Amino acid sequence: MRRGFGILLAAGLLLVSCGVQNGEVTFKFKTGYHEAQAETMTGGLGWRPDYEGYPWTEMKKEVKGVPENWADVMVKEVVMNYDQFRYQSYHAGIIDKDYFDFYFKGEPDKALSQRLSEEFIRCYFYVMRGKDEAGVTRYLIDSDNDHDFSNNAPVKLLTHEEWDKLSEKEKRDACVDVRVEAKLNGKVRTLTIPFRFMDWNGEALGWTAFFRGEGTFLGRKFIIFPGGGLDFDYPTFRYFENSEAYEDFTEGNLLFALGDHYRFNGVDTGAMTVMLEKQPVGEPLLAAQVGYTAPPFQGKEIFSQETRRLEDYRGKYVYLVFWSRACPWCVKEIPYIDEARKEMKGKEIVFFGVTKTREEEMKPFMKEQGITLPTILSTDENDISGLYHVRGIPYPVLIGPDGKVLAEGGNLRMGSLLPKLKEFVQ
């Protein structure tokens, strides 16, 4: 196994002090094993055959070095930047224009070419599972990303329990350094990123990639943790007042610094900048964030077909949960929500779900399951989920009678929901 510790990116990246420039704050891109695994990029894949018509199946024919004595061999790709993966696939003729337009939704070609490469780059790498002659399941990681497994030794996948028992040195030693390519500052770079690979009950492979962005803003340190790839899709912004005190922000959140509010509008990895927008003084501060006024919205409720407006419920508590029929964790939340609705009957609180699932799919499912939670549709034209910057579901939010967000996230889920509601609702 290879050690991945304290590795900086290849020379030539802009390592400049960070300052405010037209709302953009530059940051350094760093890789290497470090703490804060919970905020480090994670993902996984199931050990299942590609579905029929999967557009990238043909790519795997270029892979070499599959052991001849292995049975039940399966090769899967780990994609580090889905935007780059799709963009280059379109220009290589692997996916069509409709597929391309669906994912990029009319983003101008000039903007795309600034952050993505038309040429095929290795923004992904391959992993393999198979059974050796003794019938033992083995795993190979193409860590040098040459599409040849013959120069890679089998690795042992750890479980979460096994990982937690390791010392910090053993954790560093258990990481595998993987080479991937990314377009940064207009040039394609080769990055060496430490990964830990985990076994999920023999059915799936989980992985954690140790990289992040670091910089300073108004003299204080910040760290950007990626949430979806090398393009820092759905990032988390951690702003440090000092080494012990910090706050977490996700896209759309407001941070208060030196007497002013700034909205975190995401990250442009191609230019290695964080977008921070200074808020005008005296205007209402809207954010789906504790302590701020929840953004107003309206939408059609599935069963009644009536329009629901958040502003109509001023003076009452409003519990919102973003969910979907396709999310098993969401469905498991419903009995806890039903219990809270029953316990809170007669109190000044209303309960609503919000879903992006199409009405013709959601309505019969809710009827079949006996789900009576009033649920509002979030559509492309009326994107409530986007307004609230929802990146994962289920995502609950509790709004107070004055319209301000009182709580959100894990504090309002499962067995924690009813006790938390009772703290607020009298």
Please tell me whether residue 67 adopts helix, strand or coil conformation.
coil
Quick one: average pLDDT of 213-233? Answer: 86
Residues 89, 144: one domain?
yes
Give the model's pLDDT for residue 1.
33
Give the model's pLDDT for residue 38.
53
| pLDDT tens digit sequence for 400-423 | 999 999 999 888 999 899 999 999
Per-residue pLDDT at 36 exceeds 70: no
Per-residue pLDDT at 84 exceeds 50: yes
Q: Give the pLDDT band (50/70/90) at residue 56.
A: very high
Q: Give the pLDDT band (50/70/90) at residue 18.
A: very low
Task: Give me 312's structure tokens.
Answer: 């109509």
Residues 271, 338: one domain?
no
pLDDT-wise least confident of 8-17, 122-131, 320-329:
8-17
Residues 16, 112: one domain?
yes
Residues 76, 175: one domain?
yes
Give the model's pLDDT for residue 60.
92
Residues 65, 168: one domain?
yes
Give the model's pLDDT for residue 22.
45
| Cβ within 8 Å of residue 92, ≥6 positions away | 120
Residues 65, 167: one domain?
yes
Domain membership of residue 19 (yes or no) is yes
Between strands 375-377 and 349-355, the pairing is parallel
Q: Which of 257, 282, 307 is the last residue of a domain?
A: 282
Domain membership of residue 292 (yes or no) is no
Residues 275, 327: one domain?
no
How much is the pTM? 0.77
Domain membership of residue 89 (yes or no) is yes
State the CATH number of the domain containing residue 410. 3.40.30.10
Residues 243, 363: one domain?
no
Task: Give me 383's structure tokens.
Answer: 């994107």
Residues 181, 247: one domain?
yes
Domain membership of residue 287 (yes or no) is no
Residues 207, 314: one domain?
no
For residue 6, what are the domain limits?
Answer: 1-282
pLDDT-wise least confident of 229-243, 289-303, 380-394:
229-243
Domain membership of residue 289 (yes or no) is no
Domain membership of residue 27 (yes or no) is yes
User: What is the maximum alpha-carbon separation in the chain?
Assistant: 72
Residues 260, 394: one domain?
no
Residues 354, 228: one domain?
no
The one-letter code for the residue type at 290 is V
Quick one: average pLDDT of 244-261? Answer: 88
Q: Cα–Cα distance between 79 and 85 in angstroms, integer?
A: 7
Give the model's pLDDT for residue 243.
63
| pLDDT tens digit sequence for 257-270 | 888 999 999 988 87
**What is the rounded average pLDDT for all residues in the chain?**
88
Domain membership of residue 53 (yes or no) is yes
Q: Which of 249, 282, 315 is the last residue of a domain?
A: 282
Domain membership of residue 293 (yes or no) is no
Task: Give me 76's structure tokens.
Answer: 């899967």
Per-residue pLDDT at 44 exceeds 90: no
Domain count, the chain: 2
The segment with the largest mean pLDDT, out of 114-118, 235-239, 338-342, is 338-342
Quick one: average pLDDT of 312-327? Answer: 95
Quick one: average pLDDT of 321-326? Answer: 93
Q: Which of 220, 247, 282 is the last residue of a domain?
A: 282
The one-letter code for the residue type at 299 is G
Give the model's pLDDT for residue 241.
74
